[in-house]
Structure 1
Amino acid sequence: MIPTVVIAGRPNVGKSTLFNKLAGRRHALVSDTPGVTRDRKDATAQLRGKTVRLVDTAGLEEAAPETLFGRMRASSEAAVSEADLVLFVVDGRAGITPADEHFAAWLRRQNRPVLLVVNKAEGRAGANAALEAFSLGLGTPIGVSAEHGDGLADLMGEIADRVPDNSDAEPAGERPLKLAIIGRPNAGKSTLLNRLLGEERMITGPEPGLTRDAVAVRFTDADGTEIELVDTAGLRRRARIEQPLEKMSVSASIEALKMAEVVVLAVDALDGIHDQDLQLARLVEREGRACVIALNKWDAVPDRNAARRAVSDRLQTSLAQMPGIPVVTLSALTGQGVDKLLPAIRKAHAVWNTRIATGALNRWFEDALERHQLPLVDGRRLKLRYITQPKARPPTFIVFGTRAEQTPEDYQRYLVNSLRDTFGLPGTPIRLQFRGTRNPYADE
């Protein structure tokens, strides 16, 4: 097993900046706004030859359990309970606060190895703050500046010395299926992720927009498939996005979508398919990703037959470029129907990976050209000669022929729809490109 290193501390002491520096790239959102991190965020890092799992956590704050800050603290405490090493971070500029003393005392009771880190410890003031941190009773503090990189080499060495050796760990298996959950705010994305994992991994509640960053979690489903699942911040219409922090959240969500193989579009079944949901589905199609629509909160829908018809009609008229897109009705809150989601995801992934033998592909192509004669363009009939599939993920085809690039859009749609029907490619994006054969004497 890879040892787990959890970064904890009160809000705005620089935990996410330190997390990004140790991980070697920007994984977590960083802002001057206190409390940006709400959910635990993981990353794998190499520190002095040892592989560790880094976990960034929300700031530790005193709050009632039912409040948002109380739920954030519970998530951080759960991460600490699983840690092989806790980095307790304090702010060298602010000095040791009563909150630091309170949580240091709490950490001493958790029976977990703790390494005290004094961040923002630049210059003489930082050195004095590091000395002051001895009073917390957590051993010798290490002064660093995560923002400027000062002291990080010593910190990495100290972490590598304290975590268990994992050199005998089994090598990683096949690459996991990359899955992202996207949707509008309050569609139930985080609740769905928690239901799939079987644990309260993400902060949930009635407040819209709780998730701010794209948070990845790995798990193995009942079928033995390893999945890297990413929960994302809710995506609103661009005109409504004003705050810099929300802009960063949206950027992280779109980046997660681009890195995914299959995207689950979570839709509030009580609202039906909204215009913004369709915009997100079109974005998935443009990025060439497989898509499954999860109609969440299905248990609360009063007339389910009418809701099914409305969703089907809306998709047929407004998402014609992805006919046959799988739709799964479920309730992330109660678990009803969630067992149908992962099989639908695996099937969509298989379709997205489809490769068709060249012989079968060209037999279909000849039949398709016979069924519908090629059109005239500028008074001359097009000549399409053959088709190849250079790649999958998504299925991509190239048609060659004389003036093939002039093929009208309606004939291109006919070929795409015929490909879907003949080879069983529902819902997945299909890329069909046309390349003409140039006459070498045309310019003579």
Structure 2
Amino acid sequence: MAIPIIALVGRPNVGKSTIFNRLVGERVSIVEDYPGVTRDRIYATGKWLGREFRLIDTGGIDMSDEPLMDQVRHQADIAMSQADVILFLTSSQEGLTDADEAIAHRLHRTNKPVVLAVNKTDNPEQRQDIYDFYSLGHGEPYPISGAHGTGLGDVLDAIMALVPLDTDQSETDDSIKFSFIGRPNVGKSSLVNAILKEERVIVSNIEGTTREAVDTYFTNEEGREFTMIDTAGIRKRGKVYENTEKYSVMRAMSAIDRSDVVCLVLDAETGIREQDKRVAGYAYEAGKGIIILVNKWDAVDKSDKLFETFTKEIRAHFQYLSFAPILFVSALTGQRLNKLTDLLIEIYENRHRRVQSSTLNDVLMDAVAMNPTPTDKGRRLKIYYMTQVAVAPPTFVVFVNDVELMHFSYERFLENQLRQSFYFDGTPIKIITRARQ
């Protein structure tokens, strides 16, 4: 399901950062202990009445000619172009300003739905001051207080009413959905074009998410259906071109949400960069199947050990992706691209694999016999049984005597035993520890 994106815009000093923090609450957190899952606050994920949303904060939009203001306005334009809904924030303390009116005109040109909120309305007297904001032409102004959190529920209700329920065709479409992610200029567009030249049967272009993405649908020679999900670099939407890491990652996130398998594209010429780690971390946290594609392999001067050296470097930088296969390809020459669709099918099937509980527990007993459970302060971890509760990704619940006794390293040991016993190449595995009642 595509998660809606909300852009938070307004002039400086209206309290955007406070509202941003209020809306996402405590949900901005790193959930993995692996080194290298890099995640910064370029966006945050929140939840309202069971529906997830992503929030982009923007710099305060000022129409003055001060240095850097063009940059800030440009960044805000990019955020607004990506958003499903724009939250326009003003302040009752300063009242309606020329800057508010200039931003309102800018928002009218986006043709995006806008929810208008007036911050710093902390008491009934200040609530009487909101009526001037009707003149901005963006409907009813919602009085809110970032300091106290009042009124934010009404704002979120209004936002969610403007976001259509998921329109992608995953309910009825059983094609394998995949996308290419990576920093700009690693060759994502070239890979798309190279694959479509090889595939003889192109069926149609499918309207995808609410953000005007167009997915490419094709079948391979065996008749297996694939949907290639649009990402930044395949088609530029609107007049705003992303030129920053922040928004290319935002676009990648939308593609990751809708993919079964994500192809992380690295550049053989320039090597591994920090942004490569960032987008890989998102795909891993989302529980998607992952393939690491090293593109432009034709362009590097290959020494005897370059293949082994590059492979070791990838494994060192992406330790948490040890399950992901690495494929060295060239969009220019088509080198090894014929292997990609077979790999996509394999990982899709691994991601949906189910294992019987009896077989799981045989493996669990062997694992415990091989490596006894840890102790802490004289208490030993007891593992009673394991069961699989979900697929995509494969998710297992382990019932124990005390959750606190399950050390991270032992959980990883159990994951490795599952991978050795069953075929889970290319997909993350989730293990959830529960105390037996």
Scaled by the length of structure 2, the TM-score of the pair is: 0.54
**Separation in structure 2 between the aligned mates of residue 319 and residue 246 of structure 1, nearest angstrom:** 19
Q: Confirm or deny: 8 A CA contact 1:264 1:292 kept in the other structure.
A: yes
Deviation at 1:317, TM superposition (A): 2.3
Equivalent residue of 2:290, what SS?
strand
Per the alignment, residue 254 of structure 2 pairs with 255
Per the alignment, residue 81 of structure 1 pairs with none
Per the alignment, residue 371 of structure 1 pairs with 370
**Separation in structure 1 between the aligned mates of residue 273 and residue 244 of structure 2, nearest angstrom:** 25
Deviation at 1:226, TM superposition (A): 1.3
Q: 1:351-405 CA deviation, whole Å, 9 max, x = no partner? A: 1111111111010001111111111122111111000000110110000020034
Per the alignment, residue 433 of structure 2 pairs with 434
Deviation at 1:341, TM superposition (A): 1.2
Q: Confirm or deny: 8 A CA contact 2:375 2:405 kept in the other structure.
A: no
Equivalent residue of 1:416, what SS?
helix
Deviation at 1:214, TM superposition (A): 5.3
Shift in CA distance, 413/430, structure 1 to aligned 2, threshold 3 Å: same
Alignment of 1:235-314 (within 5 A): 250-303=249-302, 305-314=304-313
Per the alignment, residue 416 of structure 2 pairs with 417
Per the alignment, residue 355 of structure 2 pairs with 356
Per the alignment, residue 229 of structure 1 pairs with 228
Deviation at 1:250, TM superposition (A): 3.8
Alignment of 1:32-431 (within 5 A): 174-198=173-197, 215-233=214-232, 250-303=249-302, 305-431=304-430
Unaligned runs of 5+ in 2: 1-72, 79-110, 112-137, 140-170, 200-210, 235-240
Unaligned runs of 5+ in 1: 1-31, 38-119, 121-146, 149-171, 201-211, 236-241, 439-444
Deviation at 1:249, TM superposition (A): 5.1
Shift in CA distance, 215/250, structure 1 to aligned 2, threshold 3 Å: farther
**Separation in structure 2 between the aligned mates of residue 299 and residue 403 of structure 1, nearest angstrom:** 53
Shift in CA distance, 249/318, structure 1 to aligned 2, threshold 3 Å: closer
Q: Confirm or deny: 8 A CA contact 1:220 1:227 kept in the other structure.
A: yes
**Separation in structure 1 between the aligned mates of residue 279 and residue 377 of structure 2, nearest angstrom:** 38
Counterpart AA for 2:289: A
Deviation at 1:309, TM superposition (A): 1.8
**Separation in structure 2 between the aligned mates of residue 190 and residue 385 of structure 1, nearest angstrom:** 50
How many residues align? The count is 258
Counterpart AA for 1:351: N
Equivalent residue of 2:396, what SS?
strand
Per the alignment, residue 21 of structure 1 pairs with none
Q: Confirm or deny: 8 A CA contact 2:380 2:405 kept in the other structure.
A: no
Per the alignment, residue 100 of structure 1 pairs with none
Equivalent residue of 1:415, what SS?
helix
Q: 1:163-213 CA deviation, whole Å, 9 max, x = no partner? A: xxxxxxxxx97522111111111111111111111199xxxxxxxxxxx98
Counterpart AA for 2:271: G
Counterpart AA for 2:353: T
**Separation in structure 1 between the aligned mates of residue 406 and residue 278 of structure 2, nearest angstrom:** 27
Counterpart AA for 1:421: Q
Shift in CA distance, 234/405, structure 1 to aligned 2, threshold 3 Å: farther
Q: Confirm or deny: 8 A CA contact 2:398 2:433 kept in the other structure.
A: yes
Q: Confirm or deny: 8 A CA contact 1:181 1:265 kept in the other structure.
A: yes
Per the alignment, residue 30 of structure 2 pairs with none
**Separation in structure 2 between the aligned mates of residue 246 and residue 386 of structure 1, nearest angstrom:** 45
Deviation at 1:322, TM superposition (A): 2.4
Equivalent residue of 1:343, what SS?
helix
Q: 1:413-442 CA deviation, whole Å, 9 max, x = no partner? A: 11111111111222321100100124xxxx
Counterpart AA for 1:177: I
Shift in CA distance, 243/333, structure 1 to aligned 2, threshold 3 Å: closer
**Separation in structure 2 between the aligned mates of residue 218 and residue 304 of structure 1, nearest angstrom:** 38
Greater relative contact order (CA < 8 Å, ≥ 6 in sequence): 2
Q: Confirm or deny: 8 A CA contact 2:388 2:397 kept in the other structure.
A: yes
**Separation in structure 2 between the aligned mates of residue 381 and residue 428 of structure 1, nearest angstrom:** 31
Shift in CA distance, 419/326, structure 1 to aligned 2, threshold 3 Å: same
Calculate the aligned-residue CA RMSD, in Å.
3.3
Equivalent residue of 2:387, what SS?
strand
Q: Confirm or deny: 8 A CA contact 2:351 2:392 kept in the other structure.
A: yes
Shift in CA distance, 366/264, structure 1 to aligned 2, threshold 3 Å: same
**Separation in structure 2 between the aligned mates of residue 410 and residue 175 of structure 1, nearest angstrom:** 37
Shift in CA distance, 317/247, structure 1 to aligned 2, threshold 3 Å: closer
Deviation at 1:231, TM superposition (A): 3.5
Shift in CA distance, 432/277, structure 1 to aligned 2, threshold 3 Å: same
Equivalent residue of 2:305, what SS?
helix
Shift in CA distance, 370/273, structure 1 to aligned 2, threshold 3 Å: same
Q: 1:219-262 CA deviation, whole Å, 9 max, x = no partner? A: 11223121110242269xxxxxx979985554232111111110
Counterpart AA for 1:230: I
Q: Confirm or deny: 8 A CA contact 1:213 1:253 kept in the other structure.
A: no
Per the alignment, residue 141 of structure 1 pairs with none
Equivalent residue of 1:333, what SS?
coil
Scaled by the length of structure 1, the TM-score of the pair is: 0.53
User: Percent of counterpart pairs with the same letter?
Assistant: 35
Equivalent residue of 1:218, what SS?
strand
Q: 1:79-116 CA deviation, whole Å, 9 max, x = no partner? A: xxxxxxxxxxxxxxxxxxxxxxxxxxxxxxxxxxxxxx
Per the alignment, residue 93 of structure 1 pairs with none
Counterpart AA for 2:413: Y
Equivalent residue of 1:421, what SS?
helix
